[in-house]
Amino acid sequence: MKKPWAGRFAQKTSGAVESFTESVSFDRKLWKHDIAGSIAHAKMLAKQRIITAKESAAIIAGLSATAEAISSGKFRFSPELEDIHMNIESSLTERIGEPGRKLHTARSRNDQVALDLRLYLREQMQDIISLIRKLQKMFMMIAERHQDTVMPGYTHLQRAQPVLLAHHLLAYVEMFQRDRERFRDCMQRTDTCPLGSCALAGTSLPTDRAYTAKLLGFSKISGNSIDAVSDRDFALEFLSCAAITMMHLSRLAEELILWSTEEFRFLEISDRFTTGSSIMPQKKNPDVAELMRGKTGRVYGNLMALLTLMKGLPLAYNRDMQEDKLPVFDSAETLTACLSVLLEMLKEVKFNTARLRETAAGGYATATDVAEYLVRKGVPFRSAHEITGKIVLYCISRNIPLTGLSLQELRTFSPLLTEDILTILDPVASVKARSSFGGTSPSEVKRQLRHYRKLLK
């Protein structure tokens, strides 16, 4: 098959080279975006009288027919034509003849692929932002139901202080809010049209790049033709956003895994989102959460792959950049799949509220409340900390909880400990007392819920 660039070459391309250099096996995913860009380009060429209106109409009709063939599965992609761009252009020329050979006027595959990737990422990020918002609303819904459920909060995976389950869940809403904001910021920098930059130097033909950008829904056009075709920082930013979001999903997955163990028994994942063992009949494995945790490493790898790919490339375009698409495609698809399955799984997670309340009282979790009680009585915090530490040590030596101490025993550590100390040792009282802004008290959790409802409206 004749190459569109074959005029300068005296020999036919090696079959081994064709197999090694083709990208249509994966960049065919960009066909809709490539055709959209080509239609906009054809309209611009006609507007500027670089081609005739009749030729533009024929090109658009031919591209539409090609789109129909691809979407219906009737299109044959040819590795000999290297990539999605040449496959579509070849099909167009076969359909409409000579006008098809005019479409590539005033553009290059270099600006064409930069455009396609921006269009693809813009579409993917819109979907991802929407999924994250749905996930936030799912957490909000669960938090609304658990505004009175007390649980142990952890640091170092050791019981620390009692918190509301709703407060713990809202921590993820906050994380995902930042993730949404990062993707929105990335959208702003992706929202730049590179088409018309050509190979690297622009063109001598009287094009109207602003018109093309407007047709494609871009708010701005690239300011430097070399930069437009040679950088992929917008794709790197996307991969970074995806990696950070996957990190948050992985932390959540880890908690779902831990909390569903017999040792924790904080929650149960539905049978529909777990699997069994091929040898142990009793097993119920949190495979979906484990895979989510595992896929995070894959998305991290994609970011590192593209960073490494780009780090040594001189300006402008280099064929190395053909390898930019697989990491981008894989991360977009992986993140979307994880968000989608998590949304479904969370609907059917059941929290063991009795177990959560029971464990909230253990581990001397209200010790900080004792220290703060003494602070309110005028004791310096470090001294209050030491006194409380001795009380905890005394309890550990006798294997009793803080609530198992009598007032007389407590007063042996400090005469400032009076009868009202007994009321603050309860985890529910501890939670209610933590009313600082952003804290875990019921009043603060209600405020946070109001805030997020407004934010997600």
Q: Write the CATH number for 115.
A: 1.20.200.10
User: Residue 2's pLDDT is what?
Assistant: 67
The verdict on residue 367 lying in a domain is: yes
In SS3 terms, the chain reads as CCCCCHHHCCCCCCHHHHHHHCCHHHHHHHHHHHHHHHHHHHHHHHHCCCCCHHHHHHHHHHHHHHHHHHHCCCCCCCHHHCCHHHHHHHHHHHHHCHHHHHCCCCCCHHHHHHHHHHHHHHHHHHHHHHHHHHHHHHHHHHHHHCCCCEEEEEECCEEEEEEEHHHHHHHHHHHHHHHHHHHHHHHHHHCEECCCCCCCCCCCCCCCHHHHHHHCCCCEECCCHHHHHHCCHHHHHHHHHHHHHHHHHHHHHHHHHHHCCCCCCCEECCHHHCECCCCCCCCCECHHHHHHHHHHHHHHHHHHHHHHHHCCCCCCCCHHHHHHHHHHHHHHHHHHHHHHHHHHHHCCCEECHHHHHHHHCCCCCCHHHHHHHHHHCCCCHHHHHHHHHHHHHHHHHHCCCHHHCCHHHHHCCCCCCCCCHHHHCCHHHHHHHCCCCCCCCHHHHHHHHHHHHHHHC
What burial class does residue 188 get, using C-beta atoms within 10 Å of its C-beta: 0-12 exposed, 13-18 middle, 19+ buried? Answer: exposed
Handedness of CA 148, 150, 151, 153 (dihedral sign): positive
User: Residue 227's pLDDT is what?
Assistant: 97
Same domain, 416 and 322: no
Specify the pTM.
0.94
Average pLDDT, the chain: 95
The verdict on residue 6 lying in a domain is: no
Same domain, 342 and 374: no
User: Residue 1's pLDDT is what?
Assistant: 66
| 81 token code pair | 């034509």
In the listed set 87, 105, 123, which residue is the last one of a domain according to the structure?
Answer: 105
Same domain, 174 and 158: yes
User: Residue 219's pLDDT is what?
Assistant: 97
Handedness of CA 275, 277, 278, 282 (dihedral sign): negative
Q: Would residue 441 show up in a list of annotated catalytic residues for this protein?
A: no
- Domain of 19 in residue numbering reads as 15-105
Same domain, 150 and 226: yes
Give the confidence band of 15 by pLDDT, cuts at 50, 70, 90.
Answer: confident
User: Residue 5's pLDDT is what?
Assistant: 63
Q: How many domains does the chain have?
A: 3
**Which whole number is the average pLDDT over 158-187?**
97
In the listed set 308, 339, 358, which residue is the last one of a domain according to the structure?
Answer: 358
The verdict on residue 4 lying in a domain is: no
Same domain, 448 and 392: yes
Give the confidence band of 457 by pLDDT, cuts at 50, 70, 90.
Answer: confident
Q: Would residue 104 show up in a list of annotated catalytic residues for this protein?
A: no
Distances (CA, A) of 328 to 241, 269, 298: 12, 31, 12
The verdict on residue 313 lying in a domain is: yes
Determine the straight-line distance between the first and last CA of the chain, rounded to whole angstroms.
55
Q: What is the pLDDT of residues 405-436, one digit of tens each?
A: 999 999 999 999 999 999 989 999 999 999 99
Q: What is the pLDDT of residues 79-104, one digit of tens each?
A: 999 999 999 999 999 999 999 999 99
Q: Which residues pair with 152 in a beta bridge?
A: 162
Same domain, 121 and 248: yes
Same domain, 153 and 85: no
Q: Write the CATH number for 61.
A: 1.10.275.10
pLDDT exceeds cutoff 80 at 370: yes
Same domain, 144 and 270: yes
- Of the residues 19, 64, 277, 383, only one is catalytic, namely 277
Same domain, 300 and 153: yes
Q: What is the pLDDT of residues 309-360, one digit of tens each?
A: 999 999 999 999 999 999 999 999 999 999 999 999 999 999 999 999 999 9
Phi, psi of 162, rounded to the nearest 5 degrees: -65, 140
Same domain, 294 and 415: no
- Of the residues 156, 204, 406, 436, only one is catalytic, namely 156
Same domain, 307 and 447: no
**Which whole number is the average pLDDT over 265-282?**
94
The verdict on residue 229 lying in a domain is: yes
The verdict on residue 10 lying in a domain is: no
The verdict on residue 297 lying in a domain is: yes
To the nearest 10°, the Cα dihedral for 333, 336, 340, 342? 100
Q: Write the CATH number for 367.
A: 1.10.40.30
Highest mean pLDDT among 16-20, 22-26, 316-320, 441-445: 441-445
Same domain, 80 and 179: no
What burial class does residue 206 get, using C-beta atoms within 10 Å of its C-beta: 0-12 exposed, 13-18 middle, 19+ buried? Answer: exposed
The verdict on residue 3 lying in a domain is: no
In the listed set 358, 379, 404, which residue is the last one of a domain according to the structure?
Answer: 358
